[in-house]
Amino acid sequence: MTKIAFIFPGQASQYVGMGREISRTPIGEKLFFKADEIAGFPLSSLCFEGPEEELTQTDNTQPAIVTVSAIVFHLLNEKGIKPEMVAGHSLGEYSALVVAGSLSFIDAVRLVRIRGELMRDATRTIAGGMAAIIGLTPQAVEDICREANSVGIVQATNYNSPIQTAISGEKAGLEKAIELATERGAKRALMLPVSAPFHSSLMDPVAEKFRAELEATELKDAEVPVIANVTAEPETNEAEIRGNLIRQINAPVHWTETIQYMIARGIDTFVEVGPGKVLTGLLKKTDRSVTCIPVETLESIDGLIKKLKK
């Protein structure tokens, strides 16, 4: 019997035009209307028409991706497709918590809008960025970061696949890490178009500011296990979920372990719920024995149903 997990994308999956088709469904119209109200401007128009430079601003990207992901989930739910576990990559964890019944859609959009604003503001006071190292093991990247710390703070922060790790830190540390990774055989080592050192200790001030928002928000126990970014373990308790969301801002994302945990528990079909195919690509680099199907349009939902019937 097929065992399904839903996985939800984070930043970098957005694109102009996302959500336009599904916005014409009753649930799409309803949730985009709510998201526009919460954002205080037509977020829906930004998703459909751009401009791209505004959509990619983190305080816009985050509520936009959560909204599109939530609509796709509801459309799947209407077809009777339900997950046994859920997980989301960084920002995507908020989408996963909506699906799990731990966080309301309205609160999720409001929180990620604030989260994005805090991260945007952090770029003005916290110098640094991120880089991607491809083709080296996580251990090799961690070793490189330890050496590069001699010239500037740098940490492994996104364990995306067995051969892809993102690092965050100060510019000098990042540049040194890229140099060392290249010398040691990395296929690619490059700076990312990100303006802050996300998921690193340099984001401690942001985590503290966000704590107050989370503590004032109602969360419920999750109805299905949510595999947390910071632990790669299942969580259903609302207090633990709240703590994990605070820690997620300044702690690494253990995505490879998250996927491996679910596969070890019998998940054989992953559905990437929301815009893009980033997580599908990462999963193929982690374990090709399982299926991953990206879903964000009505046609792709129908395609998923046909595959599951087989």
Catalytic residue numbers, as ranges? 90, 199
Taking the CB of residue 232, how many other CB atoms lie within 10 A of it? 19
Cβ-based neighbours of 174, under 8 Å, separated by 6 or more = 128, 129, 130, 131, 148, 152, 154, 167, 168, 191
Residue 78 in contact with residue 52, Cβ under 8 Å?
Answer: no
Task: State phi, psi for 234 to the nearest 5 degrees.
Answer: -75, 145
Say how many CA atoms lie within 13 Å of 41 toward its Cβ: 11
Q: Which of 273, 261, 238 is nearest to 89 (CA)?
A: 273
